[in-house]
Amino acid sequence: MPTLGEYIKMYRSENNMSMDDFAKKSGLSKSYISVLEKNKRPGSNKPVEPSVGCVMQVADAMGVNFMELMIATCDIEQLKKDLFNLECVAEEDRGTVAQIIEANHRNDFIENSEKANPKEKHVVEIFRNLNDDGQDRVIEYAEYVRDTGKYSLDASYLVAQQIAEERKAEERKAHEKKSVSAPAKHTI
């Protein structure tokens, strides 16, 4: 899993930004950005564990979704464990951490579901990236499509559709027989 510092470094490189530029844009100090990019705490070789607030500042500066950056760069399993010992998370960050853990749990549920096919997973992924109004519109449209019956897996609709197709096929065959058996008219 890439570290937050690696994401910052890639972003700076792609946007030709110096550490000073990114520090101004993010509100983080140049020295802390350096620590993040090296992923080593000063005075030790331990990896850096940035705060939720730090990830928020970086996400804002980079113009990316905070939750996606958090999930991409943080050890979710560790966050889950830490949720039971919330002393390690600032009080103002606890709700955010809980949301991240819940979002990750929902993603795991769909991704690991044996019954979910790729199309279902794709629809869920799209749905989760919509706000409430967007989700309501998707639900309304899905209900409309379902209620028309045309796309339904409902057995009665499928049977009716099959009967209609069989009738059309019989009518075509009957029409073909008439045109073959009818005597040809010759004109001299």
Q: How far apart are CA 90 and CA 93, in angstroms?
A: 5
Mean pLDDT of 142-156: 69
Q: Give which of 103, 89, 95, 19 is closest to 50, Cα–Cα.
A: 89
Q: Is the pLDDT of residue 75 over 70?
A: no
pLDDT score, position 69 = 82
Query: Which one-letter amino acid corresponds to residue 154?
Result: D
The answer, yes or no, to whether residue 35 has pLDDT greater than 70, is yes
Q: Is residue 62 part of a domain?
A: yes
Segment 154-179, tens digit of pLDDT: 555 556 666 777 888 888 888 787 76
Percent of the chain with pLDDT over 70: 65
- Confidence at residue 61, expressed as pLDDT on a 0 to 100 scale: 93
Residue 183 neighbours by CB distance under 10 Å: 5
Predicted pLDDT at 6: 92
What are the Cα distances from residue 143, in Å, to 9, 14, 152, 161?
45, 43, 10, 20
Note the pLDDT tens digit of each residue in 95-113. Answer: 776 666 666 655 555 555 5
| pLDDT value at residue 41 | 84
CA dist 56 and 69 (Å) reads: 9
Residue 104's closest CA among 130, 72, 136?
72
For residue 80, being part of any structural domain is answered with no
Nearest alpha carbon to residue 110 among 125, 97, 99: 125
Q: Which of 29-43, 112-126, 153-167 has the lowest mean pLDDT?
A: 153-167
Looking at residue 86, its pLDDT comes to 53
Whether 169 maps to a domain, the answer reads no
DSSP state for residue 87 in the 8-state scheme = G
- Whether the pLDDT of residue 42 is over 80: the answer is yes
> Does residue 122 surpass a pLDDT of 70?
yes
SS3 14: helix
Q: What percent of the chain has pLDDT over 90?
A: 20
> Residues near 29 by Cβ (< 8 Å), separated by ≥ 6?
23
Domain range holding 65? 1-74
The CATH number of whichever domain residue 46 belongs to comes to: 1.10.260.40
Q: How many domains does the chain have?
A: 1
Q: Is residue 16 part of a domain?
A: yes
Question: Looking at the domain assignment, is residue 107 inside a domain?
Answer: no
Pseudo-torsion of CA 143, 146, 147, 150, nearest 10°? Answer: 150
pLDDT of residue 111: 55
Q: Give 88-121 as a 3 state SS string.
A: HCCHHHHHHHHHHHHHHHHHHHHHCCCCCCHHHH
pLDDT at 26: 93
**Mean local confidence (pLDDT), 125-139:** 83
pLDDT at 77: 63
Residue 187: DSSP 8-state:
-
